[in-house]
Structure 1
């Protein structure tokens, strides 16, 4: 992608991000804890990254607005409709991942 000008690269990155959000929206059955276990990020992380990016650029974006954008609806509504209680197996897998991160100094 080095051959692309910055504007084109930014537009492609933005399009890929929007497609990721569409993909996550189409797969609401994939729980945030599953994403955290497998990829060490979730929908809430994306929201926090948006807020951080806004802050870096001097733009105003609060966390709840970012979450509504990422989730496609208010977080409380998404949580009530789609979020399931984490199973003991998911909790154990998440704890193991966190422990590995601690061991590797990636906390």
Structure 2
């Protein structure tokens, strides 16, 4: 079992990753992250939701995304999301199936 100090360091690293993705690199599109790494900001927010639910904390997808993004999904999309081209969409379908499963 991790020590309290290890848990605090893990939490600090997660917060830094969140800051990097949400403030420093808003130019990086979720679809590109998913295609290259097999996860994106939405995956991170889903993992946040799953962790809450596993601990008996009720949290839906929209609430988890708003907590992770610091704004609603609609706000994020209007500020930062660009249209994906056909090759990005095709790569996403494959990456999503391999890493998340069937939708």
TM-score in terms of structure 1 length: 0.80
Query: 4+ runs of 1 displaced by more than 4 Å?
Result: none
Change (3 A) 1:98 1:47: closer
1:88 Cα shift?
A: 1.6
Q: What runs of 5+ residues in structure 1 fail to find an aligned partner?
A: none
**Residue-pair matches, total:** 100
Q: What runs of 5+ residues in structure 2 fail to find an aligned partner?
A: none
What residue in structure 2 maps to residue 71 of structure 1? 69
Q: Distance in 1 between matches of 2:38 and 2:10?
A: 20
Q: Distance in 1 between matches of 2:29 and 2:14?
A: 19
Q: Which has the larger radius of gyration?
A: 1
Q: Say which structure, 1 or 2, has more relative contact order (CA 8 Å, 6+ apart).
A: 2
What residue in structure 1 maps to residue 17 of structure 2? 20
TM-score in terms of structure 2 length: 0.83
